[in-house]
Amino acid sequence: MPLVRIDIVKGRTAAQRRSLGEAVHRALVDTLGVPAQDRFQVIAEHEANELVYDRSYLGIKRTDAVVIIQITLSSGRTLEQKRRLYRRITENLAYLDVRPEDVWINLVETARENWSFGLGEASYAPAEKATA
């Protein structure tokens, strides 16, 4: 169910970009119980001057390797789950040599009935008969 948008500055290889996506997805699976197959991601590269980030907000030193991750997901996760997600994404990305300072995450929560994974169905909504 999550839709993950990853925005980065140009310079990584296709393999590196794919690895970024995998690292974020594994964290969603491991900390939120997202199904392993429920992976939908848009990875977009930008010129350095089109991805604007502050180099020290909150005392965190960021570089052009910054990874902006915006995840739209169903609402209902607890704060503790969100904390685990942030930590795990950051740990997984560290294995790819992304500095923890360069991991930027935002969650947008939406209703479970707001997803259609194909065939024109409300994939996660209560059974249609129930609304008849």
Distance, CA of 21 to CA of 91 (rounded, Å): 14
Q: What are phi and psi of 54, to 5 degrees?
A: -80, 140
* CB within 8 Å of 15: residues ≥ 6 apart: none
Shortest reach from residue 19's CB to a second copy, in Å: 11
Distance, CA of 37 to CA of 111 (rounded, Å): 20
Residue owning tokens 């947008």: 108
Shortest reach from residue 82's CB to a second copy, in Å: 6
* CB within 8 Å of 54: residues ≥ 6 apart: 62
Shortest reach from residue 121's CB to a second copy, in Å: 7
Residue among 11, 60, 96, 97 that touches a second copy (CB under 8 A): 60
101 near a second copy, rule: CB under 8 A: yes
21 near a second copy, rule: CB under 8 A: yes
115 near a second copy, rule: CB under 8 A: yes
Distance, CA of 131 to CA of 47 (rounded, Å): 48
Residues in contact with a second copy, counted by CB under 8 A, come to a total of 69
Annotated catalytic residue 2: yes
Residues forming contacts to a second copy in the complex (CB under 8 A) are 3, 7, 14, 17-18, 21, 35, 37-47, 49-54, 56-58, 60, 62, 68, 70, 72, 79-80, 82-83, 86-91, 100-111, 113-123, 125-126, 128, 131
